[in-house]
Amino acid sequence: MYGIDLHNNKDRYFTIGDNKRQKFAFLPFKRQITVNKVSPVKLELEKFKSEQLKEAEISLHLTDKQENELSSLLYDHRGAFASEKEPLGAIIGHEADIILNIERPYPPLLRRPAYPESPKSREALETHIKELLDLGVIRKVCHNEEVEITTPVIVAWHNGKSRMVGDFRALNTYTVPDRYPIPKIQIVLTQISQAVYIATMDAFKGFHKNVVTPRPRKYLRIIVHWGVYE
């Protein structure tokens, strides 16, 4: 194995081994090498596609151009998608208010005890409560707080998956109806009948995205065997 000595002077040559007299010159290289700068927006777009769109099922019938246009459109509205920092969004611009049609003291029907649960359902209920606490959707009511209205919850099972459901039938009886306009499904389907492409999106925990004004939140307290949550 021979050593190579580089001589970085105006002549720029190198020698091999002990023969210092035989000099080797470098081949001229006039081609300029350019490195394309990657746009920060493009980097954010690729990150958005790999993280927030990783579970999206994009049609294989789209061309590369159409898929890129779709990804750019979704990226422009990335605030509507869940992320690690914001796993659960909220409806912006509308806060629900609850007005009771009765005065205090409230009837005993509004102060309900917790429903009995099987060990399996109770374990699932504990998991749901913990998840909502971690997401910041609910909080535990302290022992020194006045509690006048409580709603029991049940665990509904479907295809092996559990779902926590509040039995708000009693509260609905004493609540002033909210006549909020909701589009009819027939009108919605008519509006999209001429669409070439249709996208469907599922709202993660859609019911918990409804923001309630601070005053009536105490009406929505749920009760379980180990405490009350709001």
The reported pLDDT for the residue numbered 156 is: 94
**Same domain membership, residue 3 and residue 59:** yes
**Same domain membership, residue 101 and residue 76:** no
- 117-135 pLDDT, tens digit per residue, is 999 999 999 999 999 999 8
**Same domain membership, residue 79 and residue 9:** yes
**SS (HEC) of 96-154:** ECCCECCCCCCCHHHECCCCCCCHHHHHHHHHHHHHHHHHCCCCECCCCCCCCCEEEEE
Q: Which domain CATH number covers 135? A: 3.10.10.10
154 phi, psi to nearest 5 deg = -130, 165
**Same domain membership, residue 113 and residue 64:** no
**Same domain membership, residue 135 and residue 68:** no
**Same domain membership, residue 13 and residue 70:** yes
Domain end among 86, 119, 140:
86
Structural domains in the chain (count): 2
**Same domain membership, residue 220 and residue 140:** yes
Tell me which H or E stretch contains 226.
Answer: none
Cα(44)–Cα(38) distance, integer angstroms: 11
- 157-178 pLDDT, tens digit per residue, is 999 999 999 999 999 999 998 8
The candidate with the shortest Cα–Cα distance to 219, out of 130, 88, 117, 102, is: 102
Q: Give Cβ neighbours of residue 64 (< 8 Å, ≥ 6 apart).
A: none
Domain end among 66, 86, 106:
86
SS3 172: helix
Cα(39)–Cα(197) distance, integer angstroms: 29
- Does residue 103 surpass a pLDDT of 60? yes
**Same domain membership, residue 136 and residue 55:** no
Q: Which domain holds residue 17?
A: 1-86
- Does residue 61 surpass a pLDDT of 80? yes
**Same domain membership, residue 208 and residue 106:** yes
The reported pLDDT for the residue numbered 167 is: 96
Domain end among 86, 107, 124:
86
**Same domain membership, residue 59 and residue 10:** yes
Pairing of β 211-212 and β 95-96: parallel
- Does residue 3 surpass a pLDDT of 70? no
Mean of the per-residue pLDDT values of the chain: 85
**Same domain membership, residue 108 and residue 81:** no
